[in-house]
A and B are shown apart, each in its own frame.
Chain A
Amino acid sequence: MEAKPSYDKLIFELSAPGRFAHSLPDLDVPSADPATLVPAQFVRATPPALPEVSEVDVVRHYSRLSLMNYGVDTHFYPLGSCTMKYNPKINEDMARLPGFARLHPLAPAAASQGALQLMWELARDLAEISGMDHVSLQPAAGAQGEFAGVLMIRAWHLSRGERRHKVLIPDSAHGTNPATTAQAGYQVVQLKSDEAGEVDLADLERHLDEDVAAFMITQPNTLGLFESRIHQITEMCHAKGVQVYMDGANFNAILGITRPGDLGFDVCHFNLHKTFTTPHGGGGPGSGPVGIKAHLAPFLPTPVVVKDGDTGYSLDWNRAQSIGKLQAFWGNFGMLVRAYTYIRTMGPDGLRSVSENAVLNANYILKRLEGDYDRATAGPCMHECVVSARRQKKLGVSATDIAKRLLDLGFYAPTTYFPLIVEEALMIEPTETESKETLDQFCDAMIQIAREAETNPHLLHEAPVTTSVRRLDQTLAARQPVLRWNAGA
């Protein structure tokens, strides 16, 4: 077992009056006292209570804090639905080229042709990968991609003189789907999944009517299953004028194998931080481009990157029916550079191989675990598998206990308790970048935990013991919120 790190400081607790780390120039312009340049009421009366630390304090503090984290670079990170694959280092070098990282968003088009060309090509590539007609790169993350997509659907219905009020969403969906839909002004109707874990067609049929604006599904779904009757679903929806939205969180399963556009989807979003290797950064930034079919093009967010043979690339603002803007500028450009670098690194065959190996790895894990954990569904899975700890639950061991024990055994945990329709769910997504050796080590650990649940459940209830802290009191945190540091507290 690792020794328990003893570090327990916050940067504020390293502070000493008069110490500093910054290097700022002397004022080189003739000036009065800066405090007299703006009226006194605008000048801060007391300095903010910020740390006073040296550069070595800063570097050592954050290096030490980093050691309290598990990341893909240090640990297998099978967090289902999040596609925690390896993040190539070359992507980082490219995103830091001064022509990209040090480019101001309002530089004239003539002085940002490289960035615009990269965006134009990436949108074109994502359109080809998805079988969509157009792609907007502006959404900052998957949830904002969903928001843009649902607003475009709304605008399309309104342009046809129809005001519809409902959006259908399966019970297996990510929480962002209903939250986004509500934010776009729609009422959410939840559909049941069938015995096999796919969309229940009878329930869908029952709910499809002229008041439904869209059906929003994840393909493959959150159980890791490809919705096999997808053509039937999209046809049923279109017959009622209902648009079909694909949550692209699980795109890593289908690259080069099938395309949402060919399946009849009208809209889909991408999570570049999942499928296209941009780093997750401890919770973001992500990037959530949204692809659409041609009939929705008038409603794309502004501005749109366009190519003109004579003038090169530019931003087109002149789009009267646009849903508007989603963030101040053009998208999370730094993430776009990384995704572009990745797509160019892999090429078409490489991308297909990504999905094939992601599917292979998930099925291998499922096979190795099925003797010791209950499968959520029958048959092969796509890029992720869901198992249930209901057998272990009978022994008094929960999915949480299993997750915490995995931390002690040197693995990050799968997603737990999601999808909501599976009791004691453990959702495992290995990704294609992991080797058989790593998968075997993980499966050995999972099987060991299943044995421990039978023989020594106490061990699992006590886990984790090797991390920088042990299980934390969530109830206390919520009941008496302490959301900032205070001197002397």
Chain B
Amino acid sequence: MRYISNTPAQQKEMLGRIGAASIEALLANVPTKARLSRPLGLPAAMAEADLVRHLRALAAKDASADDYSCFLGAGSYDHLIPSPINHLISRGEFFTAYTPYQPEASQGTLRTIFEYQTMMAELTGMDVANASIYDGASSLAEAVLMAHAVTGRNETAFSRGINPLYGQVVETYCEGPDLRLKRVALADGVTDLDALRRAVTDRTAAVVVQYPNFLGCLEDLREAGEIAHAKGALLVVAADPVNLGFLTPPGALGADIVVGEGQGLGVPMSYGGPNLGVFACRAELVRRMPGRLVGATVDRDGHRGFVLTLQTREQHIRREKATSNICTNVALCALMATIYVSIMGKQGLRRVGELATAKAHYAAARLAEVPGVQLRHRAPFFKEFALELPKAPERVVKRLLRDRILAGVPLKAFDRGAKNALLVAVTERRTKDEIDAYAAALAAAVA
């Protein structure tokens, strides 16, 4: 049998040593009544060549970003993934290790996480970052729970500019502790600061905004922070770290907790997962942080080394009193991000932002020239923007698929009022030719 190493002769020899007549005898604790008396109803085993053919056929039904021009965003982005990442993460020493419970035999993983924590702290402008949460949405949910734990308050002022898929996850996490999300309306694409001021009270644990927000627009974090802090609430910001080589980091604008989806940092889109939940905060809050943390220390000989630390926050020590139930995180995705940031470096990440925003602004202008099409909002945007189309965007999306263009995300599913809105994302990877082809195809589709 594939992946099983013992030969029948060895199995027999081992049973002899154990003193059992058969493997069946070892299963004596499983009552007869509990036994499955038939084989599992699964397809028969496939040989490798057949299996590869089968999976290739399945994959061929999907619109890969290799074959289509991808203008989809809304939380997952087609950024460049430099070649060394896949080679390095595929090293079995990284790939097939687990949580570094034995630090002496896990310094490779621990060092990369320490580097990752430093990079994320640097990009977000915060003091500390953890070793990762599952994805941007679950990181945001954990941030809301943490703000509740830090302040002892039960309400959250939650901007409608936050990715609605994230909002749904936060609601799920708020169910247990019975926390209330007060939604704060937008005004022309960004959080309405007057509405925010009205929503924040001395029961508010946190003001939560996204930067740039779901519609691609840039929020005034400084003002949102002042509104939060005036009432003793925390400012929680969801931000995509791949943008933060170019954009002012939330930490410089008053954020207390910064979370985000780090998928853009070298992690494949992979139909939405695994992703990379980034989580960073101010130093004073570190003991309330969810998830693993790696710290520097010394070994017996005084050499530098790294360990999992402040573990008394975690479930395997604190059980029901832990700051979170998270155990397995997304360490390998954090490694992808660490290598990505190393490759891009100080200048490259800024360049990624410059290219994306320049191309996005070019695309917005070109697409808005199409008769009947306009930009939905006047607020400044970064690499993503919403269009108002003269017809149902689902039909446009379907039409453009034929031209091998993934045109964008219709917003109707998230906001019933936005029935003709289409959200378009442009990364550094899109070319002028692709954008021009998109504009031409859109013109044909709405004519």
Contact = CB atoms under 8 A, between A and B. Distances in A.
B119 to A, nearest CB: 6
Contacts of A434: 5
B320 A258 contact: no
B33 to A, nearest CB: 6
Contacts of A65: 107-108, 111-112
A68 B332 CA distance: 16
A101 B269 contact: yes
A39 interface: yes
B111 A348 contact: no
Interface stretch (A276-284, A289-297, A386-394): A276-284
A209 interface: no
B135 A140 contact: yes
B440 to A, nearest CB: 15
A256 B248 CA distance: 55
A183 B5 contact: no
Given A8-B303, A344-B45, A413-B102, A484 B114 contact: yes
Interface in A173-214: 174-176, 178-186, 188
A10 interface: yes
B128 A483 contact: yes
A345 B345 contact: no
Interface string A378-399: 0110100000000000000000
B274 to A, nearest CB: 3
A94 B329 CA distance: 23
Interface string A28-45: 111100110111011111
A282 B328 contact: no
B341 A41 contact: no
Given A43-B248, A71-B95, A413-B101, 9 more contacts: A24-B348, A45-B252, A65-B112, A86-B3, A115-B271, A328-B261, A345-B3, A351-B42, A438-B5
A246 interface: no
Given A10-B115, A50-B119, A225-B29, A283 B345 contact: no
B401 A432 contact: no
A48 B249 contact: yes
A418 B335 CA distance: 28
Contacts of B67: 98
Interface in B1-56: 1-6, 10-11, 13-15, 17-20, 23, 25-31, 33-36, 39-46, 48, 51-52, 54-56
Contact of A360 (B14, B172, B299): B14
Contacts, number: 730
A44 B247 contact: yes
A21 interface: yes
A347 B42 contact: yes
Interface residues of A, number: 208
3 tightest CB-CB pairs across the interface, nearest first?
Answer: A329-B272, A73-B92, A99-B59
6 contacts: A48-B249, A79-B101, A107-B72, A115-B271, A175-B314, A188-B320
Nearest to A42: B218
Contact of A69 (B59, B108, B272, B435): B108
A347 B348 contact: no
Contacts of A485: 114-115, 118
A82 B272 contact: no
Nearest to B125: A48
Interface in B263-296: 268-275, 286, 292-296
B36 A103 contact: no
B58 interface: yes
Contacts of B317: 175
Interface in A324-362: 324-335, 337, 340-341, 343-354, 356-357, 359-361
A156 interface: no
A210 to B, nearest CB: 20
Contacts of A50: 119, 122-123, 245, 341-342, 344-346, 349
Contacts of B115: 10-12, 485
A102 interface: yes
Q: For A29, A226, A344, A407, which residue has the most chain B Cβ atoms within 10 angstroms? A: A29
Interface stretch (B196-204, B228-236, B358-366): B358-366
A140 B327 contact: no
A464 B66 CA distance: 48
Q: For B145, B249, B310, B355, which residue has the most chain A Cβ atoms within 10 angstroms? A: B355
B233 to A, nearest CB: 22
Contacts of A115: 58, 62, 271
A445 to B, nearest CB: 14
A483 B96 contact: no
Contacts of A12: 115, 118
B104 A470 contact: yes
A172 interface: no
